[in-house]
């Protein structure tokens, strides 16, 4: 295996390992979002859309700076999507997929994509999640491939269970792999299949024609410091032209479109006379057709206008009142953002939809959202209490978020990051409606936000939510035994969404009282500042007892 393939495989392996490690919440010295940080398109689009400069963007900047020296090395060596595309291309390509030409105007489409999305970002709509390569491939792996692998591993464990039992391998027998499940898996797959399927027609189609990161790097690599050069040993055999995966070499093998070249050096390896070198250019040598887009000025202008228009149309809809704080609010009841999520508008502009938070969420409550909040909300993370509760002390999603769309909070702050409020649907509640003992919500509430009271006409004490103590964690909804719509549901009402500052201070200021029930005084004392359940249970007995 040559150097390029070795590096590619190595980088893909690192990418997969980091992503897998993130799913198991392993934190090492390598940041789990290393590759996300390297994506210049994601960084640029998010920076523009959110009007923000993040330290994390430095790495992407460094990639661009290095591209000026080395050409599109990122595409040829580091990009995990590029490597996946190479692998798939090798399997699905039709004859001629590698040698065939792509018309120049098609290749210029990537600049169109870049300008379209930049214009949309300028208008406040981030489309990085649809076009930036690393968020795409991260999401594909985190939300589809890894869950499938885990399911498969679990199947194997099941098959091995009798053996494990026979040989007393208890830990193996009871090994419970996390089995995350995600909504919209077909959409995740479809977006990736679109990219990969094009490889049947032309190799690296995505990288050559559509990838906005590729476009950015092509702009930086118009005349890289180290670039392809052909010496006088060239015998015009044309092998390099035929072997170039990106069609960067012209009919005359001495010419190179450096913006298209991903420096894979396949041309150097196939050259029978070793006439190809990657080095400093000699004067008057190697000038070739540029990766030019000046002749498509009109098309690119159109792309920019379309981008602005798309953003304008999208954001003009009623759905976008989501971020409004006035009286005209449209908040889907299931749009419960993770704890620490910034105010909705800021959140949407920053979120990569990379799936890092969803993958890392230990209770699998975080799910990609559909279209109920419009296109800007597509694939963004929401809490889904019926799948799992949101642990009051867990700070994983904030730590996983590469753009801090979900703020990484210290535990004391996290406790106050209220995501919503629980409501009892009395007409479904076993206690309220059927006068039956249940009260699981009270049993599971980590914040002790449920109180039981005696109501006239009912034998059992019935639950009430004390909103001031409720963080919207969803333990109650998750464990409520009532099926279909549970009898207690969390809605995003009164969620605390702060771009900066302390959740605790803000929460206190608006009269919240969020604390875990395990914080209690010494034994023998009444723990909570609230009275014990003053249950009389109809017959003057404490709750749960009967005559």
Q: Which residues bind another protein (CB under 8 A)?
A: 158, 161, 168, 170-171, 174, 176, 362-363, 391, 430, 436-440, 442-446, 448, 452, 460-461, 479-483, 517-520, 523-528, 532-533, 535, 541-547
DSSP 144-208: IIHHHHHHHHHHHHHHHHHHHHHTT-HHHHT--------TTHHHHHHHHHHHHHGGGTSTTHIII
The residue among 90 and 153 lying less far from another protein, judged by its C-beta, is 153
The residue among 201 and 464 lying less far from another protein, judged by its C-beta, is 464
Spell out the residues 6+ positions from residue 171 whose beta carbon is closer than 8 angstroms to its own: none
Show the CA angle centred on residue 408, arms to residues 494 and 30, nearest 5°.
155
Residue 258: closest CA among 278, 242, 282: 278
Q: How far is the CB of 443 from another protein (least distance, A)?
A: 5
Q: How far is the CB of 516 from another protein (least distance, A)?
A: 9
Q: How far is the CB of 87 from another protein (least distance, A)?
A: 34
Give how far Cα 502 sits from Cα of 68, 206, 419, 506, Å. 42, 43, 15, 6
The residue among 134 and 460 lying less far from another protein, judged by its C-beta, is 460
The residue among 53 and 530 lying less far from another protein, judged by its C-beta, is 530
Q: How far is the CB of 160 from another protein (least distance, A)?
A: 12
The residue among 274 and 546 lying less far from another protein, judged by its C-beta, is 546
What span, in angstroms and rounded, lies between the C-alpha atoms of 143 and 161? 27
Q: How far is the CB of 173 from another protein (least distance, A)?
A: 8
Q: How far is the CB of 481 from another protein (least distance, A)?
A: 4
Q: Which backbone phi and psi does 409 adopt, to 5 degrees?
A: -110, 145
Q: How far is the CB of 532 from another protein (least distance, A)?
A: 5
Task: Quote the tokens at residue 408.
Answer: 């990484």
Q: How far is the CB of 437 from another protein (least distance, A)?
A: 4
- CB 328 within 8 Å of CB 352: no
Spell out the residues 6+ positions from residue 504 whose beta carbon is closer than 8 angstroms to its own: 412, 413, 415, 416
- Tell me the three state secondary structure of residue 138: helix
The residue among 61 and 544 lying less far from another protein, judged by its C-beta, is 544
Spell out the residues 6+ positions from residue 331 whose beta carbon is closer than 8 angstroms to its own: 322, 492
Q: How far is the CB of 390 from another protein (least distance, A)?
A: 12
What span, in angstroms and rounded, lies between the C-alpha atoms of 205 and 196? 8
Q: Which helix (H) or strand (E) holds 539?
A: none
What does the chain come to in residues?
A: 547
Q: How far is the CB of 490 from another protein (least distance, A)?
A: 18
What span, in angstroms and rounded, lies between the C-alpha atoms of 197 and 357? 28
The residue among 359 and 442 lying less far from another protein, judged by its C-beta, is 442
Give how far Cα 226 sits from Cα of 25, 72, 84, 241, 322, Å. 40, 11, 26, 19, 49
The residue among 153 and 371 lying less far from another protein, judged by its C-beta, is 153
- CB 79 within 8 Å of CB 102: no
- CB 365 within 8 Å of CB 384: yes
The residue among 406 and 440 lying less far from another protein, judged by its C-beta, is 440
The residue among 289 and 543 lying less far from another protein, judged by its C-beta, is 543
């Amino acid at each position: 295996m040559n150097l390029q393939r070795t590096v590619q495989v190595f980088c893909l392996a690192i990418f997969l390992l980091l992503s897998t490690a993130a799913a198991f919440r392993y934190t090492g010295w390598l940041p789990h979002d290393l590759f996300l940080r390297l994506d210049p398109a994601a960084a640029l689009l998010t920076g523009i859309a959110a009007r923000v400069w993040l330290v994390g963007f430095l790495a992407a900047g460094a990639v661009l700076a290095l591209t000026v020296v080395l050409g599109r090395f990122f595409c040829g060596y580091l990009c995990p999507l590029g490597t996946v595309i190479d692998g798939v291309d090798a399997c699905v390509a039709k004859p001629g997929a590698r040698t065939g030409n792509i018309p120049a105007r098609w290749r210029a489409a990537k600049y169109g994509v870049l300008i379209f999305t930049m214009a949309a970002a300028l208008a406040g709509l981030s489309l990085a999640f649809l076009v930036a390569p690393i968020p795409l491939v991260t999401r594909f792996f985190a939300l589809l491939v890894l869950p499938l692998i885990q399911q498969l591993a679990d199947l194997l464990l099941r098959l091995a269970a009798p053996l494990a039992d026979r040989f007393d391998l208890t830990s193996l027998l009871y090994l419970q792999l996390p089995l995350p499940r995600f909504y919209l898996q077909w959409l995740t797959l479809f977006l990736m299949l679109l990219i990969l399927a094009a490889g049947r027609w032309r190799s690296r189609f995505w990288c050559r024609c559509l990838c906005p990161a590729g476009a950015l790097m092509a702009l930086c690599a118009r005349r890289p410091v180290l670039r392809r050069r052909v010496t006088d040993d060239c015998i015009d055999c044309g092998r390099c032209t035929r072997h170039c995966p990106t069609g960067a070499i012209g009919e005359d093998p001495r010419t190179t479109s450096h913006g298209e070249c991903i420096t894979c050096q396949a041309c150097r390896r196939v050259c029978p006379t070793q006439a190809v070198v990657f080095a400093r250019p000699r004067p008057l040598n190697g000038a070739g057709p540029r990766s030019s887009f000046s002749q498509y000025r009109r098309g690119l202008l159109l792309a920019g206008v379309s981008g602005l228009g798309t953003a304008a149309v999208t954001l003009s809809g009623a759905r976008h009142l989501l971020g409004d704080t006035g009286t005209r609010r449209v908040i889907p009841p299931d749009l419960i953002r993770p704890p620490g999520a910034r105010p909705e508008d800021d959140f949407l502009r920053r979120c990569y939809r990379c799936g890092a938070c969803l993958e890392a969420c230990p209770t699998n409550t975080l799910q990609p959202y559909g279209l109920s909040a419009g296109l800007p909300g597509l694939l963004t993370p929401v809490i889904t209490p019926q799948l799992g509760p949101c642990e009051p002390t867990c700070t994983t999603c904030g730590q996983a978020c590469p753009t801090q769309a979900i703020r990484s909070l210290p535990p004391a702050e996290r406790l106050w990051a209220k995501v919503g409020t629980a409501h009892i649907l009395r007409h479904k509640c076993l206690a309220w409606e059927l006068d039956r003992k249940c009260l699981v919500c009270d049993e599971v509430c980590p914040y002790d936000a449920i109180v039981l009271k005696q109501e006239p006409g009912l034998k059992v004490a019935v639950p009430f939510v004390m909103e001031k103590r409720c963080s919207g964690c969803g333990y109650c909804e998750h464990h409520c035994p009532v099926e279909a719509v549970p009898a207690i549901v969390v809605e995003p009402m009164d969620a605390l969404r702060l771009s900066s500052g302390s959740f605790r201070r803000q929460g206190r200021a608006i009269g919240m009282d969020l604390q875990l029930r395990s914080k209690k005084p010494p034994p023998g004392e009444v723990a909570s500042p609230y009275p014990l359940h003053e249950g009389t249970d109809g017959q003057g007995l404490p709750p749960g007892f009967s005559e």
